[in-house]
Structure 1
Amino acid sequence: MLAEIITIGDELLIGQVIDTNSAFIGKELNKIGVAVYQITSVQDNKQQILSALNDASKRVDIVLITGGLGPTKDDITKHTLCEFFNDTLVQNNKVLAHVEELFKKFSDKPILDVNRQQAKVLSKATVLHNIKGTAPGMWIKNKDTVFVSMPGVPFEMRYLITEEVIPRIIKEFKRPHIIHKTFITYGVGESALAAQISDWEDNLPKFIKLAYLPSLGSVRLRLSGTSLNKSSLEKSIEEESLKLKSLIGDIIYGDEGEDELEVVVAKLFTEKRKTLATAESFTGGKIAEIITSMPGASAYFKGSVVSYATEVKTTVLGVPEDLIKTYSVVSEQVAVAMAKNVQKMLKTDFAIATTGNAGPTKGDSNAEVGTVYIGIATPTKTFAVHQQLGGQRERVVNKAINKALELLYKEILGC
Structure 2
Amino acid sequence: MQAEIITIGDEILIGQIVDSNSAFISKELNKIGVSVYQITSIQDNRNHILDALEIAHERSSVVIITGGLGPTKDDVTKSTLCQFFDDELVLDKKVLAHIEMLFKKYIPTPISDLNRKQALVPSKAEILHNAHGTAPGLWMKKGKTVFVSLPGVPFEMKGLMTSAILPKIINEYERPYIIHKTIMTYGLGESAIAEKIEDWEDNLPDAIKLAYLPNLGRVRLRLSTKGTDKESLVLALESEVKKLYPLIGDIIYGEEEDESIEVQVGKLLTQKQLTLSTAESFTGGKIAQQLTSVPGASAYFKGSIVSYATEAKVKTLGVSEELVKKYSVVSEEVAIAMAENVKQLLETDFAIATTGNAGPAKGDSDEAVGTVFIGISTPERTFAKKFVMGNHRERIVQKSVNKAFELVLKEILNF
TM > 0.5 fold call: yes
| TM-score between the two structures when normalised by the length of structure 2 | 0.80
Structure 1 partner of 2:116: 115
How far residue 36 of structure 1 moved from its aligned partner, in angstroms, is 0.7
- 2:209 is paired with a residue whose SS is strand
AA aligned to 2:174 is K
Structure 2 partner of 1:57: 57
8 Å Cα contact 2:269-2:275 kept in structure 1 = yes
Provide structure 2 residue ranges, at least 5 long, that are not aligned to the other structure: none
Structure 2 partner of 1:88: 87
- 1:395 is paired with a residue whose SS is helix
Q: 2: distance between equivalents of 1:407 and 1:310?
A: 25
How far residue 328 of structure 1 moved from its aligned partner, in angstroms, is 6.0
In structure 2, the CA distance between the partners of 1:309 and 1:400, relative to structure 1 (3 Å rule), is farther
8 Å Cα contact 1:126-1:139 kept in structure 2 = yes
Q: 2: distance between equivalents of 1:410 and 1:55?
A: 50
Q: Deviations over 1:363-401 (max 9, x none)?
A: 454332112233445566655433111113343233223
Structure 2 partner of 1:72: 72
Structure 1 partner of 2:37: 37
Deviates further, 17-26 or 281-290? 281-290
8 Å Cα contact 1:212-1:220 kept in structure 2 = yes
- 1:178 is paired with a residue whose SS is strand
8 Å Cα contact 1:9-1:68 kept in structure 2 = yes
Q: 2: distance between equivalents of 1:63 and 1:165?
A: 11
Q: How many residues align?
A: 406
Structure 2 partner of 1:14: 14
Q: 1: distance between equivalents of 2:313 and 2:391?
A: 25
In structure 2, the CA distance between the partners of 1:106 and 1:197, relative to structure 1 (3 Å rule), is same
In structure 2, the CA distance between the partners of 1:96 and 1:339, relative to structure 1 (3 Å rule), is closer
AA aligned to 1:99 is L
Structure 2 partner of 1:296: 299
AA aligned to 2:27 is K
Task: Output aligned runs, 1:8-407, within 5 Å.
Answer: 8-85=8-85, 87-89=86-88, 91=90, 95-100=92-97, 102-103=99-100, 106-107=103-104, 112=113, 115=116, 118-123=119-124, 125-130=125-130, 132-256=132-256, 260-269=260-269, 272=272, 282-283=282-283, 294-297=297-300, 308=310, 312=314, 316-318=318-320, 330-332=330-332, 334=333, 338=337, 342=341, 352-376=352-376, 383-407=383-407
Q: Deviations over 1:73-114 (max 9, x none)?
A: 3332233223333x131536xx22441464267348577388
8 Å Cα contact 1:67-1:151 kept in structure 2 = yes
How far residue 28 of structure 1 moved from its aligned partner, in angstroms, is 2.3
In structure 2, the CA distance between the partners of 1:191 and 1:70, relative to structure 1 (3 Å rule), is same
8 Å Cα contact 1:335-1:353 kept in structure 2 = no
In structure 2, the CA distance between the partners of 1:254 and 1:103, relative to structure 1 (3 Å rule), is same
- 1:295 is paired with a residue whose SS is helix
AA aligned to 1:185 is T
| TM-score between the two structures when normalised by the length of structure 1 | 0.80
Q: 1: distance between equivalents of 2:398 and 2:101?
A: 52
Q: 2: distance between equivalents of 1:49 and 1:394?
A: 37
8 Å Cα contact 2:282-2:356 kept in structure 1 = yes
8 Å Cα contact 1:103-1:111 kept in structure 2 = no
Provide structure 1 residue ranges, at least 5 long, that are not aligned to the other structure: none
Q: 1: distance between equivalents of 2:88 and 2:271?
A: 63
Structure 2 partner of 1:409: 409
Q: Deviations over 1:323-363 (max 9, x none)?
A: 965x766455x358637974997798766554433332334
How far residue 63 of structure 1 moved from its aligned partner, in angstroms, is 1.4
8 Å Cα contact 1:214-1:220 kept in structure 2 = yes
RMSD across aligned positions (CA): 4.0
